[in-house]
């Protein structure tokens, strides 16, 4: 049963007017199993981005009716945050979830010839995680696959996402980490290599990270920091980090430090950057954590959603 409702409507889960909670549903084997309630006050539409797409929301809520919980995967239909991504399609996480509950399909799909080429297309900032983030010339750059988003004064700039190579010719299609040093040069890391650019002109690279004294490859994030009034850069992998001395272009020690001394920061991060107020921001999946650089602990109210705070993505699908 589908119900269009406003505010309090008899199930102790009131709606809240336009925005906020869009809909909710009831799981199997509950007293209202099969019911789906949509907020009447939303601007509902189908197949365009001028309102809230009913098909997107209904698919998510029908997943709950079938027994699916929320997914941590940002591209999943069962992700708790709304995105008007077209065409609507199930992610691998959605498929695994429903097959766990109801079994695999009776007629498995035909095998697809495997190739060594992968093109995920242009990612949706509301439904993806990010490979790297960096504050460059006072603007935030978010990197995913071959693409980059540019945010100035809290506003996504026109023409983005764009190919990263539009700014930095010779940059690899996928980067693991990026940061801007004190002189304004931009460092990019990928695998066992790094590149350095002066604005859009390549200075060096690819060079081996071993030249920097780094004992590991495939770092996950680079964060500009200040320690005892001396600029440092922290290079992260897993739950460890290495302080990098930009004056000598070498890590201080081959032995890592532990991230556990920073209270509340997740051990597995995708990217990190220092914002204009001096706070360190750590990204993992669709969420980010803001760290007080003095107390070395995450601020109250975090983690928060990246898409909502930086890209203006719509709010919750359901509780």
Tokens representing 217 are 């490859």
Tell whether 274 is covered by a domain: yes
Tokens representing 216 are 């590991």
Q: Are residues 92 and 141 in the same domain?
A: no
Which listed residue (35, 42, 61, 227) is catalytic?
Answer: 61
Q: Are residues 272 and 216 in the same domain?
A: yes
The model's confidence at residue 108, banded by pLDDT at 50, 70 and 90, is low
**CATH number, domain with residue 84:** 3.40.390.10
The pLDDT assigned to 16 comes to 75
Tell whether 218 is covered by a domain: yes
When pLDDT is averaged across residues 277-285 and rounded to a whole number, the result is 91
Tell whether 112 is covered by a domain: no
Could you tell me what percent of the chain has a pLDDT over 70? 89
The model's confidence at residue 107, banded by pLDDT at 50, 70 and 90, is low
Q: Are residues 186 and 77 in the same domain?
A: no
Give the Cα separation of 71 and 109 in Å (integer). Answer: 24
Q: Are residues 83 and 176 in the same domain?
A: no
Residue predicted with more confidence, 280 or 312: 280
Q: Are residues 197 and 282 in the same domain?
A: yes
Condensed to tens digits (0 to 9), the pLDDT of residues 11-38 reads 777 777 777 778 888 888 777 788 888 8
Condensed to tens digits (0 to 9), the pLDDT of residues 197-212 reads 988 889 988 999 999 9
Domain with 16, as residue range(s), is 2-102
Q: Inform me whether the pLDDT recorded for 115 exceeds 60.
A: no
Tell whether 206 is covered by a domain: yes
- For the chain, what is the domain count? 2
Q: Are residues 35 and 178 in the same domain?
A: no
The pLDDT assigned to 280 comes to 93
Condensed to tens digits (0 to 9), the pLDDT of residues 156-207 reads 888 888 899 888 988 888 899 999 988 889 999 999 999 999 888 899 889 9
Q: How far is CA 245 from CA 6, 228, 250, in A?
A: 58, 13, 5
The model's confidence at residue 140, banded by pLDDT at 50, 70 and 90, is very high
Least confident of 102-116, 225-239, 273-287: 102-116
Are 8 and 37 in contact, with CB atoms under 8 Å apart? Answer: no
Q: Inform me whether the pLDDT recorded for 230 exceeds 60.
A: yes
Q: Are residues 136 and 185 in the same domain?
A: yes
Tell whether 122 is covered by a domain: no
Q: Are residues 163 and 281 in the same domain?
A: yes
Output the average pLDDT for the chain: 83
Q: Are residues 48 and 136 in the same domain?
A: no
Neighbouring C-beta atoms of residue 110, cutoff 10 Å: 5
Neighbouring C-beta atoms of residue 138, cutoff 10 Å: 9
User: Token pair 């500009």 is at which residue?
Assistant: 224
The model's confidence at residue 224, banded by pLDDT at 50, 70 and 90, is confident
Active site residue 61: yes
Tell whether 234 is covered by a domain: yes
Q: Are residues 292 and 176 in the same domain?
A: yes
- Where do runs of H (alpha helix) occur along 203-250? none
The pLDDT assigned to 176 comes to 94
Q: Are residues 151 and 64 in the same domain?
A: no
Tell whether 318 is covered by a domain: no
Condensed to tens digits (0 to 9), the pLDDT of residues 53-80 reads 888 888 888 888 888 888 877 778 888 7
> Beta partners for 222?
235
What is the distance, to the nearest Å, from the Cα of residue 246 to the centroid of all Cα atoms in its chain? 28
Q: Are residues 159 and 96 in the same domain?
A: no
Tell whether 123 is covered by a domain: no
**CATH number, domain with residue 231:** 2.110.10.10
Are 286 and 32 in contact, with CB atoms under 8 Å apart? Answer: no
Question: Which of 102, 117, 150 represents a domain boundary (last residue)?
Answer: 102
193-198 sheet: strands from edge to edge:
177-180, 185-190, 193-198, 201-208
């Amino acid at each position: 049963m589908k119900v269009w409702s406003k505010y309090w409507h008899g199930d102790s889960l009131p709606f809240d007017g336009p925005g906020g909670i869009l809909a909710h549903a009831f799981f199997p084997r509950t007293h209202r199993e099969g019911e789906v309630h949509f907020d009447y006050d939303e601007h509902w539409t189908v197949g365009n981005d001028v309102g809230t797409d009913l098909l997107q929301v209904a698919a998510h809520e029908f997943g709950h009716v079938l027994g699916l919980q929320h997914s941590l995967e940002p591209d999943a239909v069962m992700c708790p945050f709304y995105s008007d991504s077209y065409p609507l399609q199930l992610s691998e996480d959605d498929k695994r979830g429903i097959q766990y509950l109801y079994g695999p399909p009776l007629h498995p799909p035909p095998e697809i010839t495997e190739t060594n080429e992968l093109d995920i297309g242009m990612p949706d900032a509301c439904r993806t995680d990010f490979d790297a983030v960096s504050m460059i010339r006072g603007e935030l750059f978010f990197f995913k696959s071959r693409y980059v988003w540019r945010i100035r004064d809290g506003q996504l700039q026109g023409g983005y996402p764009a190919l990263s190579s539009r700014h930095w010719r010779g940059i690899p299609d996928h980067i693991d980490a990026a940061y801007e040093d004190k002189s304004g040069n931009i460092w990019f890391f990928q695998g066992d290599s790094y590149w350095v650019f002066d604005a859009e002109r390549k200075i060096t690279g690819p060079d081996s990270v071993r030249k920097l004294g780094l004992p590991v490859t495939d770092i996950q994030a680079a964060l500009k920091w200040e320690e005892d009034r001396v600029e440092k850069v922290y290079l992260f992998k897993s739950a460890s980090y290495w302080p990098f001395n930009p004056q000598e272009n070498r890590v201080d020690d081959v032995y890592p430090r532990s991230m556990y001394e920073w209270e509340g920061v997740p051990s597995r991060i995708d990217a990190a950057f220092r914002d204009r107020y001096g706070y360190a921001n750590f990204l993992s999946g669709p969420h980010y954590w803001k760290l007080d650089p003095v107390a070395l602990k995450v601020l109250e109210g975090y983690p928060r959603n990246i898409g909502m705070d930086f890209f203006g993505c719509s709010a919750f699908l359901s509780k």
